[in-house]
Amino acid sequence: MSDISPSGVPGDETFYRFIVEEKRRNARNAKDLTGKATLTQTWEQSWLIQYPDDGDYRVVVNSAVARNITDVTTVCTTGTATLTVKINATALGGSANSVSTSEQSQSHTGSNSVSIGDDVVLTFSSTSGAENVSVKISGTLALAAS
């Protein structure tokens, strides 16, 4: 606080005290904000589909929270399949997941916004003996600012 000093001009003392108190208040506020949640949070949800058949699996119905899906990760214990994640009837932008015994992640940047009331659908195709398919969907969501 040595960078602020009264100049000896009448009225400057009050202004000086105001500025010093404002700096203290700002320092306290900055300290109070340390460790607080940021407005953008990451989230993830996982599902296990034991014996998937070709078709749709509606895993989120009437979403209560708006969010973005940024990644889909899959792995299974045996067999193969193709997994396309959809919001309602629209596939996420990017590639579908090739489900196999090797874990695979696909990033999605287009057509990936889930709005309140939307459904999230897992669509399996080209399923060939796939068992115990683990699916993890992750992304971001915004917390309310007030």
pLDDT digits (tens, 9 = 90+) for 20-33: 788 888 777 766 66
One domain, residues 122 and 87: yes
Residue showing tokens 């396309």: 84
pLDDT digits (tens, 9 = 90+) for 100-141: 999 999 999 999 999 999 999 999 999 999 999 999 999 999
Residue showing tokens 């009264």: 6
One domain, residues 32 and 57: no
pTM for the whole thing? 0.74
One domain, residues 31 and 51: no
Reported as a pLDDT band with limits 50, 70 and 90, residue 8 is: low
Residues in CB range of 126: below 8 A, 6 or more apart: 54, 80, 81, 82
One domain, residues 68 and 132: yes
One domain, residues 63 and 120: yes
Reported as a pLDDT band with limits 50, 70 and 90, residue 1 is: very low
- Structural domain containing residue 24: 1-36
Q: Give the CATH number, domain containing residue 56.
A: 2.60.120.220
The number of beta carbons lying within 10 Å of the beta carbon of residue 57 is 16
The pLDDT assigned to 6 comes to 56
Mean pLDDT over the full length of the chain: 89
One domain, residues 69 and 57: yes
Per the CB < 8 A criterion, the answer to whether 131 and 48 are in contact is: no
One domain, residues 120 and 78: yes
